[in-house]
């Protein structure tokens, strides 16, 4: 973690060339995180402004909270 934001990211969910990056794998990974975590696909971006997170997506994503 770099510490720039107060969340973690699991990118490229369900990307065809990355079979281990499933939403189920993201859920297991997020369970180990002490902070909120986003799982995002290739059509999702996170915009952070003043501590507020906006999810910009035409794909699928999920927010996990500890």
The H-or-E segment that residue 30 falls in is: helix 23-30
Structure tokens at 5: 């934001």
Asked if the structure places residue 3 within a domain, the reply is no
Query: Is 49 within a domain?
Result: yes
Task: Give how many domains the chain has, as a whole number.
Answer: 1
Helix or strand or coil: residue 53? strand
Residue 1 lies in a domain: no
CA separation for the pair 38, 8 (Å, rounded): 6
Average pLDDT score, the chain: 93
> Whole-model pTM?
0.89
Is there a domain that residue 2 lies in? no
Residue ranges making up the domain that contains 49? 8-64
Per the domain annotation, does 14 fall within a domain?
yes
In a domain, 16, yes or no: yes
pLDDT digits (tens, 9 = 90+) for 34-49: 999 999 999 999 999 9
Give 62's contacts (C-beta < 8 A, 6+ positions apart).
Answer: 13, 23, 26, 27, 38, 39
């Amino acid at each position: 973690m770099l510490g720039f934001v107060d969340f973690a990211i699991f990118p490229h969910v369900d990307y065809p060339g990355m079979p281990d990056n499933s939403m189920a794998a993201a859920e297991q990974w997020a369970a180990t995180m002490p902070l909120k975590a986003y799982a995002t696909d290739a059509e999702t971006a996170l915009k952070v402004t003043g501590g507020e997170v906006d999810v910009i997506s035409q794909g699928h994503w999920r927010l996990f909270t500890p």
